[in-house]
Structure formats: structure tokens, C-alpha cells
Amino acid sequence: MKKKCLVIRSLLSLFLLAVAGELVSNNNQLLASDADVGSHSSSIISFSAVDGYFPLAVSGKPVPLYTHSDDYQGVIRALKDLQSDFELVTKNKPKLSINSVPKSKRVVIAGTLGNNQVIDKLAEDGKINAEELDGKWEKFIIQVVDNPVKGVDQALVIAGSDKRGTIFGIYEISRQIGVSPWYWWADVPVSHQPNLYVSPERFTLGEPKVQYRGIFLNNDEPALGNWVRHSFGGFNHQFYEKVFELILRLRGNYLWPAMWGKAFHDDCPHNAPLADMYGVVIGYTHHEPMMRAHIEWARYGEGDWDYQTNEEGLREFWIEGIERMKDYESTVTLAMRGDGDEPLSEEANIELIERVVNDQREIIQNYAKNPDDVIQVWALYKEVMDYYNRGMEVPDDVLILLTNDNWGNIRYLPDPDDAAKRSGGWGMYYHFDYVGGPRSYKWINTIQISRIWEQMNVTYRHNIDKMWLVNVGDLKPMEFPISFFLDFAWNPDAIPADVMGQYPKWWAQQQFGKEFAEEIAHLLNEYTRINSRRKPELLNEDTYSIIHFREGQRVVEDYNNLLKEAERINEKISEEYRDAFFQLVLYPVKASANLNEMYVSVAKNRLYARQLRSNTTEMADKVRYHFDMDAKLNDKYHSIADGKWMHMMSQTRIGYTYWNQPPWDVMPNVTVATPHDPADMGVAIEGSGYAWPQAGRNRQDAVLPKFDKFNQQSFYIDVFNRGRFSFEYSADTDVPWLLIDNPTGTVEKQERLLVSVDWTQVPEGTHRQPIRISGPDNRNIIVYAEVFNPSYPVREEVQGFVEANGYVSIEAPNFTRKIDSEDAWWKYVPDLGRTYASMVSFPVLADVQTPGDQDAPRLEYDMHLFSEGEVTVHVYLAPTKNFKHERTGLKYGISFNDEDPQIENIHTEILNWGDYSYGAPEYGVWASWVSNNINVLRTTHTIDKPGKHTLKIWMKNPNVVIQKIVVQTGEMGETYLGPPQSFFNK
């Protein structure tokens, strides 16, 4: 059904990110964005007077704006946004004069070289340098010019090389005076600034490094769809204007519109002309050729979606698409997939697709208004990549849109030299949100910007720079990674790894000001880290171990600590920021923390039920509490900002049973049980799923994990009740150096006793010490503590890591030594990975190295091992795909001490880049990599004798991302993340 659409101009607008400005501000005044936010952010605005600066607004009075009507409508529209932005910032709206020179000594002049006579005259008079702009793509300069036009003493000139160049220059001022690109989309408030001064230095961000930079609104039901229908009445231009403006403020230029049952051109006749007026290029998805939405075939198509049997019908349909496109800036998708984003039928072959493409290109030539300006795009999505591998011909002037595996891992990159030669260029289609196997992820932000950085940096260095596009799902709540993706696309060179590490703080400062930027950056990094470990849709009670290393408990604690911090900031931050803070920080942290705690509680409920703990039902109640809380948080999201975001969080996320979303959120099954009547003591211990007392022939001793003087752990004993009446308990041991907190007391339901060791008193050697737990009816249960206190090495002196409890666990960046060669090395990438950060073999295009050579680049980890014989080393790697065109897999070398390195191929199990279909031989391996967000490789080594050893990780290929290393020497509890890092001295 078509919606009525009124031409209502969006009112507001606001500020953008600056990346790598040429100007280095040297004043010490109060700047709009402070120097410590990273070199990628340059500011030319001061909020107080500076000698020689241009007074843009003084005492709340902004100078008038001036342009000429011969410029693009989109430029004049953006200037109106700037007018509103000045009003938001200074509380006064400047006059916008079109054609007649404002009566003012100082003005802002904005316009496009070659399209605006005022700007052209400035160029002619040599007041701005036309050469800087001539023939450039989306470039602007911002410059103070004396006596620009008759009657005006001085102007701030924003001149663009083309339409979007000028628009980006205009929004650059908006951003720098304090209007976030997210002012409307996330209710980011604008601070009042009565005085605005601009540096007299010429300022430019140059040309973007990636030509088309965009987003795809996808998987747009139920959340986006319900919100849009509620707020705008449909996917009409009132909605899309908000999207266009956002894209331009983020310095993007490209959109694939929402397409689940929607048709951009057909749903509202104003959508396409307005996109063009705004300056946003429109493309249709990889399976919607020739500017026609998928749903339009259902609406208007005649016959089957099959080129073999219905060539005529399809040609007609496509011709209409191309004619309807007019001369609006667009990209045209070529080729075809099966109806509804499915592979074509078995019989369909490469030859047929090539024929389809030839015919489509002919239609473009014959029916497009400006056929030579049309960007033709062929996306190598899913099985189409395989056709390409099998020799499918793609005409050289067609843009090849490469893809990730839908989970953020690039599938294929051509040889960079070949890539550079292709006239149609290359693009990359990336995902923040996905519908499909192994599981759809559509609810919350689970994307680490560090992984975007790493994968898109690899992409860029392979000369994939014509188009970067990202699937952003419902758009919200992906604000943070969208900003990063588009900023990085503007200029990847301006955001090297260490600057990327600063980005969250910079972004936080842009939305919330300086005061809490550091803390908010930490929250953004950490919540996305925890969510990226395993998408919430894949979480269940078995994900994290509640038996070993207190893993589940740690995740809950970590998340709840983040939540505490978020709530602390929420209380302190001024009222006007609260709605934005809720959307961008508090909700994702709280809702995700809540969900994680719900699943850990389910795990406890199940364990407690098995062990007959009387608090089993309480745990079931806790699950219910968190389940209800999830819905309450949803409601809260829908009520903030006067209900502006109604339905926006309505995506289901609890109760998945297979890849597709559940129709509603379903609480996991729990056990509710009535305990025995009389008091009845049970004991459970850390590191074991069993409970005591045990009967029968197979009963085991209760033995805590081993205490050692290096890690100086504490381990717990749970004394619990299986009955309904409370009982007294006591825990004692014969040695003074074994410490038990809470040694006596009353158990209503459960008491947790923490056992630790007084290392100043314990004698040297290995000890096995019983702890007697006495309960009702004189029953005793013995728990053993094993204590390891070797005389050597000395804790404070040992170099590197120390083995304990059957392993040495190492976060990769904690190496003892790093040996670099001149042209290759392991690079620290902050925040990347499930537990801490990563070391990445670098640079992206480095030559293959030879592990074992004396100077070969490597990481060395010293460690003290008490074990000898065979050990297994587990290397935890990011699930990088075998993307190099040679398809030989990425390799690294690994050795202990002076042994010859073993060469490990991280792609041994999954060499093919292609096959996604369920049931294909490699599907299972790939599915477990992306579900767990890790690829763990294991090698075995022989340790000749206990003592000091050095593990070496050698670089062979670049782009291997190592997060963590575990040397396993004995039995080690199974967990999702592997054991936490071992004791080490740097």
C-alpha cells in the first residue's frame, strides 16, 4: 500500500567528524574539539575570541549566510541546516541570503566551484585557489577571505569542488560548532555557545580515499519497520530525509534502502528525487537488479523470476527500472539471484548469468538517461563468489562488490596490483547485522570497531576503494560502528591502529562532551567486546562455564561493573544528555548485562537442580527476574525522548532454537523444585560439577584446583542445604596456613567459603591438606586443598609466565620480546579480541617471512614450566578467512626454544573461501568459528626438562591475528574463553 507523502523539509541538522584536517591548530584557546582526541580530529573553531580569528558569532549573534541560487538545491538545503545549527548553538538564527549580498561586514559564503557565481568570482579574483578544487571529488576548503564581495569586509568561505564537497564543508562547520551528526538520530544535545571564532588558516580534509561510502538498511522488520510506520506512516520521504541528512553529516554518500517488503522508488514518489536533491546516491541490494526492489516483482512482475523461461517479462520489468532512475545519481545492480535472495536453480549456470548481465548492460545503454555515468555493480555475494572463482567473466568497467562472510570476515581480495588496474573498481560489502546461519543477529551492537579497522584496513591496502558499504540492520543501535566505518572510509590513512584506539573517546566526547569521555570510551569498548565474543542470539546456559575459572561469574561481574559505571555516569551527567546516553550507552550495557546474567542464572538453576540445592527455585526466580527486566528495558527505550523511539528495540532475541529469529522472546526452561524437609548438607567445590556427599563405588574425592605461590588463588566451597530447615556448619583444617573465610555459620540455603593460603607460613613443597566440613547430624565432608610452594623459582624474580594447574595462559600482547625485521613485524592492535587485544602480523602487504631465521619477525614468551614431556599449545586467532587470492591459507610458525618452527596454516580446516550452504563440508567449521568468534589452532611440542623455556610465534604471512596463547601441560577445565591469564612478570 502506498503511503501519502507530504513534502516536509526536515528541520534540524548538525555536526560531523573531522578526519585528518590539513590545518594544525596552534592556538591555546578553548577549542571545539580538544587536541587530545587524536590527530584525526582537527578543530578550526574556538569558543572564545582569538586574535586574527574570524568572528562567526559574537555574543550569540551569528553572521549571515550567503550563497547563489545557481548552486545545487542540495547545497542550499544544507545551508538551511547550517542556519538551524547556528540557532541551536547560539540561540539566534542567522539570515540566509540567496543572491543578494547581506548587509553585513562579515558573512559566511558557501558554494560549489563551477556552479555558483559568487564562488567562481572569488576564484577568478584569485581569492580562493580554484586549482585546489578543480576536478576533485567531494573536496572542500574553508578559508577566511578579505573583501570577498563589495560591501563585505571579510567572509568565511566554504567552497566545494562539487555538490557534496560543499555540503561536507557546510556540515564540517556544523560539527565543529558542536552539533553531532547524531543530534536527531540519538537525541544528542547541543551546547550553547554564544561566541564562535574560526581560525584564519585554510582548512580542508582533502578528497575521500573511498569514493562511495554508505549504509544498507536491512533486516528492517520488526524494529525499523514498526518504528517507521508508527513515526512516519511508512517508508516515505519524511523518513528518508532523516536518513539522507544523517549520511551526509557522517560524510557518507551512498544508501541501499530498506527492502523487506519495501520498494524505495515505488513506496513514495518523492524518495528518489529527494535522495538526488540531497546528494545521496541510491543503489539496490545485490539481488535486486536494475533499480527494482525485490517486492516490486511480486507487485508488478509478470510470470516467473527466471531468465530462461521469462526473458521478455524480466526485460520489461528492468527497462522500467532504468527509465525510472532518470538522471539521479544511482548505482545499478547487475546479474540476478533466485527469487528472494536465494541461489539460482541448479541448472542456472555461469553462461546464463553472463548472458543476463550482457542484456542488462544493453538495457542500460539503450534506456538510461546518461548511460555512461551509470555505475554498474556486480556483488559477489554468497554463491556468486563461487561462480567468479569458476571463471565467470565480469566486464572491466563493472564495479565488483566483494563481500564479507556476513560475520565481518572478508572472503576474498584480489592481488592489489590487478585490483588497481580494473577500470570499474572494487568495493566491499560488510555486515553489522545479519539474517541467516548459523544464527541471525539483529538486536544489539556486537561489533568491535577494532575488527572493522583490521579487516577494512586489509581491504583498503588491496586497493578496494571504489565503494564501502555496510549492512546496519535497523540503523539503531549501530550508531557507534556506523560512525567509525564511515570515518575510516573517508581516510584510512588518518586512522592507524593507535589512533583507532583513541576513536571511542573522541566519539564519546563528540556526543557527551569531555567530562566522561574516557569512561564512556571504556564502556563502548568493553560492552562491544563482551557482545562480540558471542552474539546474544547465540548465548545460552552452556556458553560460559560456571564450573571452571568462575568464567560465568566473571562475565556477569565484568558486565555488572560496566553497568555500575554506566549508571554512575547516568546519574552525574546533566539531564539533557540522558536520552542520548540511554540509547548510546546505558541501554546496550544494561540490556546485554541483563541477558548474560539471565543465561548464567539458567546454568546455575540447572546445576543446582542436579545437585539438589534448596536454592534451585530462587535461581529460577532470578532467571524470571532478568527475563522480565529485558522487557522492561525495552519499554524504557520506547518511552524515552517522549516516545520518539517507539518499537525501535522490538527485535526478539531470547529463545532462538535455530538460525531464524523466534516470533517472540521465550524464557529458557528452568527447574522449580521443593527441597527435602529436614536440614541436609551438601557441598560443591570450584572446578567440579559434582556435589558431595557421594555414595557408591565411583565416588570421587572433592579436590579443589591447585593453589600455587605464583597465582596465590582463592577457591570456593559451597556449603548448601538440600532441606528446608537451616543447619549449623563448621569448616576446619589442621594447618594454620590454610585460611578459610566464613569457617562457621548457619546455612539457610547456601554459604560460600573462600579458601586461600597464607604464603608467608606455608612450608616449601607440595601439600594435600584436608578441610573438614561438619554439618547436621554429625555428618562430615572432606574437601582437599592441594598447595604447591616450590623453593624455585622465586616469585618476584621469575622471568615471564609461570605454569600452574596444567597450563600457562597468555594474552598475546604480553610478550617478553618482540623481534621486528625492517619490513615486517607483529603489531599491537588495541581492544581487538575476546579478552584483551591482539598482535597482528603486519604490514598488510608484507612479503612472506621465513620462520626460524635469526632476524625473522617473531614474538617471544618466556615461561617457567614445572612439567616436561609433551605439551599442547593452543593459539587463539581471530576467525580471519582465507581471503588472499592465492588461496594457500595464512600461516605462522611456532617453536619452543631452539627447535625448528612448526608451520601452521590457520586455514587447514577451511581452505575454500566460498561455500556457505548448510551441509557443505566446511560449513560446520566456519559456523563454529563465527559463532565463537575464534579459531583455535593446536600444536604439540616436547619439553625436555622443567625450567625456563621460550615460546616463539613466528610471522610467516601478514594478517594473522593472534589474541591469546595457552600452553597446556595437564588437565585443564573446558571453558568458552580458555583459562584466564597466568601469573607473569614483565
Q: State the minimum distance, in angstroms, from the CB of residue 816 to ligand REL.
A: 43
Residues contacting residue 768 through CB under 8 Å, at least 6 positions apart: 784, 785, 786, 787
Q: To which residue does cell 612472506 refer?
A: 848
Binding mask 237-276 for ligand REL (x = CB under 6 A): ----------------------------------------
Of 436 and 843, CB closest to ligand REL:
436
Report how far residue 679's alpha carbon sits from residue 726's, in angstroms, rounded to the nearest whole number. 6
Q: State the minimum distance, in angstroms, from the CB of residue 433 to ligand REL.
A: 8
Using N-to-C axis directions, what is the helix angle for 517-533 and 479-490, rounded to 10°?
100
Q: Residue 275's closest CA among 319, 205, 214? A: 214
* Binding of residue 434 to ligand REL (CB under 6 A): yes
Report how far residue 99's alpha carbon sits from residue 492's, in angstroms, rounded to the nearest whole number. 39
Q: Residue 717's closest CA among 745, 747, 740, 697? A: 740
Which residues 310-349 are close enough to bind ligand REL by CB under 6 A?
340-341
Cβ-proximal residue to ligand REL, closest one: 341
Q: State the minimum distance, in angstroms, from the CB of residue 431 to ligand REL.
A: 6
Q: State the minimum distance, in angstroms, from the CB of residue 393 to ligand REL.
A: 23
Q: State the minimum distance, in angstroms, from the CB of residue 528 to ligand REL.
A: 20
Residues contacting residue 742 through CB under 8 Å, at least 6 positions apart: 731, 751, 752, 753, 754
Q: State the minimum distance, in angstroms, from the CB of residue 436 to ligand REL.
A: 6
Residue span binding ligand REL (CB under 6 A) among the ranges 431-439, 499-507, 874-882, 955-963: 431-439
Q: State the minimum distance, in angstroms, from the CB of residue 269 to ligand REL.
A: 24
Of 224 and 873, CB closest to ligand REL:
224
Among 41, 285, 445, 959, binds ligand REL (CB under 6 A): 285
* Secondary structure (3-state) at 616: helix
Of 218 and 509, CB closest to ligand REL:
218
Residue type, 469: L
Binding mask 546-575 for ligand REL (x = CB under 6 A): ------------------------------
Of 265 and 294, CB closest to ligand REL:
294
Q: State the minimum distance, in angstroms, from the CB of residue 591 to ligand REL.
A: 24
Of 478 and 508, CB closest to ligand REL:
478
Residue span binding ligand REL (CB under 6 A) among the ranges 139-147, 428-436, 585-593, 720-728: 428-436
Which residues 464-523 are close enough to bind ligand REL by CB under 6 A?
471
Q: State the minimum distance, in angstroms, from the CB of residue 266 to ligand REL.
A: 16
Which residues 436-455 are close enough to bind ligand REL by CB under 6 A?
436
* Binding of residue 616 to ligand REL (CB under 6 A): no
Residue span binding ligand REL (CB under 6 A) among the ranges 367-375, 429-437, 496-504, 704-712: 429-437
Q: State the minimum distance, in angstroms, from the CB of residue 259 to ligand REL.
A: 6
Report how far residue 764's alpha carbon sits from residue 750's, in angstroms, rounded to the nearest whole number. 34
Residue span binding ligand REL (CB under 6 A) among the ranges 72-80, 384-392, 430-438, 740-748: 430-438
Q: State the minimum distance, in angstroms, from the CB of residue 340 to ligand REL.
A: 6
H helix or E strand, kind and range, residue 281: strand 281-283
CB 832 within 8 A of CB 450: yes
CB burial readout 274-301, b (16+ within 10 A) else e:
bbbbbbbbbbbbbbbbbbbbbbbbeeeb
Q: State the minimum distance, in angstroms, from the CB of residue 434 to ligand REL.
A: 5
Name the β-bridge partners of 449. Answer: none
Report how far residue 562's alpha carbon sits from residue 520's, in angstroms, rounded to the nearest whole number. 10
Binding mask 827-846 for ligand REL (x = CB under 6 A): --------------------
Residue 620: exposure state from Cβ atoms within 10 A (0-12, 13-18, ≥19): buried
DSSP state of 576: G
Q: Residue 248's closest CA among 240, 237, 259? A: 240
Q: State the minimum distance, in angstroms, from the CB of residue 630 to ligand REL.
A: 25
Report how far residue 674's alpha carbon sits from residue 676's, in angstroms, rounded to the nearest whole number. 7
* Binding of residue 661 to ligand REL (CB under 6 A): no
Q: State the minimum distance, in angstroms, from the CB of residue 255 to ligand REL.
A: 14
Size of the site for ligand REL (CB under 6 A): 11
Q: Which three cell numbers stand for residue 189?
A: 544535545
* Secondary structure (3-state) at 98: strand
Report how far residue 925's alpha carbon sits from residue 909's, in angstroms, rounded to the nearest whole number. 7
Residue span binding ligand REL (CB under 6 A) among the ranges 103-111, 433-441, 688-696, 794-802: 433-441
Using N-to-C axis directions, what is the helix angle for 497-512 and 479-490, rounded to 10°?
130
Residues contacting residue 557 through CB under 8 Å, at least 6 positions apart: none
Of 306 and 405, CB closest to ligand REL:
405
Q: Are strands 54-58 and 196-198 parallel, antiparallel or unpaired?
A: antiparallel
Of 341 and 860, CB closest to ligand REL:
341
Query: What share of residues in the chain are helix, strand, coil (percent, to 5)?
Result: 30, 20, 45
Of 90 and 406, CB closest to ligand REL:
406
Q: State the minimum distance, in angstroms, from the CB of residue 218 to ligand REL.
A: 5
* Secondary structure (3-state) at 335: coil
Per the omega criterion (within 30 degrees of 0), is the bond before 693 cis?
Answer: yes
Of 383 and 680, CB closest to ligand REL:
383
Which residues 59-118 are close enough to bind ligand REL by CB under 6 A?
none
Q: State the minimum distance, in angstroms, from the CB of residue 443 to ligand REL.
A: 15
Residue span binding ligand REL (CB under 6 A) among the ranges 432-440, 533-541, 857-865, 944-952: 432-440
Report how far residue 656's alpha carbon sits from residue 86's, in angstroms, rounded to the nearest whole number. 48
Name the β-bridge partners of 718. Answer: 684, 752
Binding mask 207-236 for ligand REL (x = CB under 6 A): -----------xx-----------------
Could you give the angle at the alpha carbon of 709 between the alpha carbons of 706 and 714, nearest 5°?
55
Of 218 and 491, CB closest to ligand REL:
218
Q: State the minimum distance, in angstroms, from the CB of residue 753 to ligand REL.
A: 51
Of 406 and 531, CB closest to ligand REL:
406
Binding mask 161-200 for ligand REL (x = CB under 6 A): ----------------------------------------
Q: State the minimum distance, in angstroms, from the CB of residue 810 to ligand REL.
A: 36
Residue span binding ligand REL (CB under 6 A) among the ranges 117-125, 129-137, 434-442, 926-934: 434-442
Of 216 and 692, CB closest to ligand REL:
216
**The sheet that has 196-198: what strands, in order across it?**
45-46, 196-198, 54-58, 61-62
Among 287, 451, 613, 767, binds ligand REL (CB under 6 A): 287
Of 235 and 559, CB closest to ligand REL:
235
Which residues 362-421 are close enough to bind ligand REL by CB under 6 A?
406
Residues contacting residue 165 through CB under 8 Å, at least 6 positions apart: 112, 133, 136, 137, 138, 139, 140
CB burial readout 192-223, b (16+ within 10 A) else e:
ebbbbbbbbbbbbbbebbbbbbbbbbbbbbbb
In sign, the C-alpha dihedral spanning 912, 917, 918, 920 is: negative
Q: Which residues bind to ligand REL, rule: CB under 6 A?
A: 218-219, 285, 287, 340-341, 406, 434-436, 471
